[in-house]
Structure formats: structure tokens, C-alpha cells
Amino acid sequence: MFQNNPLLKQLKKNLHKTTPRVEGIVKSTERGFGFLEIDSQNSYFIPPKNMKKVMHGDKVLALLKMEKDREIVEPEKLIEPVLKRFVGKIEKKDDKLFILPDYPFLKDLIIICYPKKNCTNSFQTGDWAIANLVQHKLNGNTIFCAELIEEIVKHNDPLTPWWVTLSRHKLEKKEPLIEQKDFLLKDNFKRKDLTHLDFITIDNLNTKDIDDALFIQKTKNGDFCLTVAIADPTSYIEIGSKLDIIASKRAFTNYLPGFNIPMLPRELSENICSLIPNERRPVLACSIKIKKDGNISNTVDFFLAWIISKEKLSYDDVSNWIENKGLWKPSKKSIENQILLLYQLCLSRIQWRKLNAVLFKDSLEYRFQFSETGIVKNIVVEKRRIAHKIIEESMIIANIVAANFLSKNLGFGIYNIHSGFDSINAENAVSFLKNYHLKFTAKEIMTLKGFCNLRRVLNVLSNSYIDSRIRRYQSFGDFSTTPSPHFALGFSEYATWTSPIRKYSDMINHRLLKSIIKKEKSIKPNEEIKLKISEQKRKNRIAERDISDWLYTLLLQKKEYQNKTFSAEIIDVSRSGIRAKITENGANVFIPALFLHPVREELMLNQEIGQVFINGNLHFKVSDLIQIVLCEIRLKTRSIIAKPAY
């Protein structure tokens, strides 16, 4: 009789208005309860019974209540589910299908699921699939329910880490499929014939997509004349064509452990456009004069040309020859002369940048080795050697002059930028440096000149801890359609064009450089393409990291790594423990606070300064090398737990 009573309806409405509600993100714990994080400072307890209605990461509106003298929340309304489209592992029980989402904190959440009508694959336990969440408990349902929409990979396939990760991030798994009849040279502009010159390429031994070749001469007064020839895919790919649209969406060749997924069809990137030795190839080239002290002159010429690379050299062979190691030597005197001149140019540029810009620190690279069936066998550590630096310095020169050329003639392009410090972080950096008697002002280090000076001082100081803290305050690199400084490199402007078969941004700059050469109308890139390129770069990096983490857990669970002591560098400190990188193989490990000291009240982990104190005394800091042993390999979360070896 009271069901439609207007007074009762009004009372309920008033009660709803007066009951306090909060909005936040659900955070679960391994013990069944959770918290609703309102912001970085405030959170409310969610009892286990209320956690059964939500998932870790859900954005919800919740009722704020008092229970046993404690504030708790009861999730009431789903604002945004953490799961929409997701990847997971199939479990089959009694002819019913379930899926376990492949996400931290959700791996024990079993969701009942049904194949989509047109999804005819026969799913079995251990298979991986893509699903859509179609039913959530907070929406008045008794179960979570998902719809299976696509099979990713079958159980125990050795390529599971790659296919699952690429599916999660919505990244392509194969090269673009385009009919080869479209691979015709569409640019009939007259080109200089440089096929008689001794251009050489230096790459990894197995590199197939060769995009740069070099030829160098020395003038009578000791200056250098460097000609950089770059592969020219834009002469085969018209703006707005099907392949151009595909390349713009992919944005990059995706380099993953073990193999790559090219931005362009392999027939183009590894054959037709690749600067293969002894093959005539169209290029976009630039002739640059560099003074003997390493300073780049204003004498620069961009033009289209034909070249024939005379030899494909490897980084290791060239480095060994320069360092008088091994038996390899150049095939003829002219190639030997090219290597020696490029080496001299490299040394002069390194010295110039040491005094005027920013030098890179030598870093290690870790490369996985695989069996023929795709099983990870080992990890090889590779250092940046002198041949890497020769190519690096040559490409830096080419990109500096391209940026200047675009700015002078157009005022736009795709520029690589880095803004150094913002005003707040500049103040924080200056305050931190004072502790080490390094006197700078915020105004000073926010200028390109001041930033470069700071980096040079830190390079001389060679203190890894100070260096790591200052880098935390620095901004991230980005792209811009207008000229802007690149503080991290130390240049007033920088625009890459040397990898057009691997980067769409370089293809854009190629077309702009060509428009200047041909005196044609130039179209400024829009902000949308810049944002797409940035986002794709971010996704590729995350995918590479996720696959690497997966492979590390597969490798390090082997018996030979149990009870082995590793040297590791501390790379981060958080409230719950420290993260470190094993120097032998590059694996990231987590050391929980409990393993650092058994009495939690006596332990303080300061994330801001990257230090760990026990009873007020400093015991660990970022950049320290410590000895560790592995104590748990968590395949489900692809994480490695370690403890100090003492």
C-alpha cells in the first residue's frame, strides 16, 4: 500500500541527498579488503563483503558510513569500470568457460564468459583471448560476465608473451599487407648521380632495413665534408594512399625482443628502399661541412640522389678494427679511408659536444637470445662501442641541420623537443644541489645554456646518485610542430629525418624537405598527427617492457639461477620497498620492505630523496650496487621478488 506513496518517495529522496557520498578509485589488497582512494591524501576502508561487488581500479560512487567506530564505504554506483575490453586466460570447467583477466590485482578474479556468436574458435583451458566485460555486479547483477570476442593464442605457444602483450595494447602483429604492384617509384624529380662514390653503411650484423649511408671527404684545411644519404620511401608512398594511412597509424617499426614488426611492408623496408650494398637506390641526401674543431658550418645542401652502397659493415667489425682487435679488416683502401675519416669526425664532434652541448653516458643494452622454437635461452650484454658512436654523431649532425633547414625555410616540421625543467622542478633541483655545494639558480638551469652547463658539471662530478635525482626533476621528451629546444641533447632545435622506413615522423620531414628542394607548397603537420605519434611511441615502449618482464620471469625460474647471488643497482625507492636492476642481465626486481629490515617501525623509505633509513641511519640509496638473491618468481604478475644477500 506504501509502494507508490508520494510522501515515502520524497523521504527516500531526501535521505539520498543527506547521506554523504564519495567518489574514488577502488584499490584491492591480497587480504580481501580494499580502499577507496579519493586523492593522493585521502582514502576510505572497504570491508571484504563490499569488495566482492567491485574490481581493483573501478571508479565508483560510494556511501560513507560508520561501522564499529570506523568510517567505511559501500560502493553504490559504477562510474567507470576498470575492465572493458581486456585480455585473459581461459579456464574450462564442466563445459563452462571462465576467463582470468591478465592484469595485476585481478588475476584471481574469475569471470564467467560466453563466446561471441561469430567467434567460432574452440576455447580450451590455457588459451588466451580478448573479451568485453558485459555485466558488472555493481549494476545489480549477481556475477561478473564477459563476452569472448577473439582468440589470441593457444595454450603453451612459445610466442604467447608477444601475442598477448600486443593484443592488450592494440598493436599490430604483422607487417602491412599491400600488393607489390604499388611499390613503384612515383617521384620522377631529377636526382644527382652519386653512384661512383664510396658510400658505406654500418649496422648490426642482422639489420635488413638499412636506412642511412655515409660518404666523407677531408678538405685541404682539415675540415670535413660529410654526405648523409637516407633511404627514400616517400618516393614510393603517395600522401593519403592506403599505405601512407597505415604507416601513419603504426607510426614506428616496433622493435621487440627477438623480432620487429615493421611500419612498412618488408618488401619496401628490407629490400626496395633498404640501402643494400651494390644496389642502386634513390635517396634524400644532405652535404654538410664540419670544421675540424667539430663545429657545424652553415654550408649545407639538401638534394635528391642515386647512390650505390659499396659495403655493409657491422658495428663490431669496425669497432674491433679501430681498436686493433680481431682479424677483420676493410676490403679495400677506399673503405679503410672512409672509416678513418668518420672516426676522426666522430672524435671532433664528441669533443665539441663535451664543451658546448650534452654528452650521452655509455649505457648497457641487454639482448635476449632464443632457440629456434622461440624459447628464451640467455641474455647478451652489449655496450655502445666506437662504431655506434660514429653513426650516432653523424645522424645527430644530419638532424641538427635538418631542423635548421626546416626552420629557416618553413618554420614548421616534426621536431623532437625536451624542455628541461619546469619552474617548480627547477627550484627543487636547485635546492637539492645545494646539499652538495653545487650552486645554481632556477632561472639559470631553465635556459638551454644553463642546463647544458649543469649537465657538464654533473658529468665531471660523476656521482650516480646526484645524477639520478636530478633526472627525476627533468621533463620528458616530446614532439612539436614548431621549433623548440632539445635540452637533453643541448641543441636549440632538432628534427629527425634519418629513419623514414622506421618512423612516420621522419617520413613527414622527408616530404617537407623535398617540398623545399622542389619549391612546392608545404603543408604544416597538424597537432593530431603529433599526438598520435607520441601515443604510439608510448604504447610501443610499454609493450617492449611488458614482453621483457615476461621473458625474464621465464628465464630466471630455471634452476641455475636459484640461490645465485647477483649484483644489482637500486633504481627506485617506494613506501613498500626498493626496485633494482640486475647488472648481469638487466632484469628488474622488487625487494619488499620486510626483507630490508624485520621491524617496520624502525624502517623509513623516502621516495622523494631515494634513500632507505634503519633506525635513522642511511643504509640504501638509489644508484647503490647491492648483492641480492632471487626468492620468488611470480609468473602470473611477471614480477621477480628478491632479497639482500646477507
pLDDT in tens, 61-114: 999 998 877 889 999 999 999 999 999 999 988 878 899 999 877 866 778 877
What is the spatial distance between Cα 414 and Cα 443, in angstroms, rounded to a whole number? 28
Q: What is the pLDDT of residue 122?
A: 79
Where are the domain boundaries for CATH 2.40.50.140 in the chain?
Answer: 15-80, 557-644
* Cβ contact 54:25 at 8 Å: no
Q: Which fold has domain 557-644?
A: OB fold (Dihydrolipoamide Acetyltransferase, E2P) (2.40.50)
Work out the angle at residue 21's Cα, subtended by the Cα atoms of residues 20 and 23, and round it to the nearest 5 degrees.
155
Given 127, 211, 232, 317, the catalytic residue: 211
DSSP bridge pairs for 314 = 203
CA dihedral 557, 639, 104, 597 (to 10 degrees): 120
- For residue 604, how many other CB atoms are within 10 A of its CB? 17
Burial code (b: 16+ CB inside 10 Å, e: under 16) for 605-619 equals beeebbbbbeeeeeb
Is residue 436 among the annotated active site residues?
A: no
Please write the tens of the pLDDT for every residue from 176-231: 988 777 788 888 889 999 999 999 999 999 999 999 999 999 999 999 999 999 99
What is the spatial distance between Cα 343 and Cα 387, in angstroms, rounded to a whole number? 8
Is residue 506 among the annotated active site residues?
A: no
Given 127, 203, 232, 624, the catalytic residue: 203
Is residue 211 among the annotated active site residues?
A: yes
Given 58, 102, 127, 209, the catalytic residue: 209
Is residue 502 among the annotated active site residues?
A: yes
Q: What is the pLDDT of residue 362?
A: 82
What is the spatial distance between Cα 75 and Cα 22, in angstroms, rounded to a whole number? 9
Given 212, 506, 546, 624, the catalytic residue: 212
DSSP assignment letter at 362: P
Please write the tens of the pLDDT for every residue from 455-502: 999 999 999 999 999 999 999 999 999 999 999 999 999 999 999 999
Burial code (b: 16+ CB inside 10 Å, e: under 16) for 36-61 equals beeeeeebbebbeebbebbbbbbbbb
* Cβ contact 243:181 at 8 Å: no
Given 502, 504, 624, 638, the catalytic residue: 502
15-80: CATH superfamily: Nucleic acid-binding proteins (2.40.50.140)
- In CATH, the number for domain 85-157 is 2.40.50.640
Q: What is the pLDDT of residue 179?
A: 79
Q: Give the pairing of strands 617-621 and 415-417.
A: unpaired
Q: What is the DSSP string of 366-378?
A: EEEEE-TTS-EEE
Given 44, 236, 315, 473, the catalytic residue: 315
Is residue 634 among the annotated active site residues?
A: no
CA dihedral 146, 148, 152, 156 (to 10 degrees): 70
Quote the crossing angle between the two packed helices 423-434 and 464-473, to the nearest 10°: 160
What is the spatial distance between Cα 368 and Cα 216, in angstroms, rounded to a whole number? 35
Q: What is the pLDDT of residue 15?
A: 46
Q: What is the pLDDT of residue 117?
A: 63
Ranges of residues in the chain whose predicted pLDDT is under 70: 1-18, 107-108, 116-121
What is the spatial distance between Cα 50 and Cα 57, in angstroms, rounded to a whole number? 15
Q: What is the pLDDT of residue 386?
A: 96
3-class SS shares of the chain: helix, strand, coil, % to 5: 30, 30, 35
Is residue 315 among the annotated active site residues?
A: yes
Q: What is the pLDDT of residue 394?
A: 98
DSSP assignment letter at 499: -
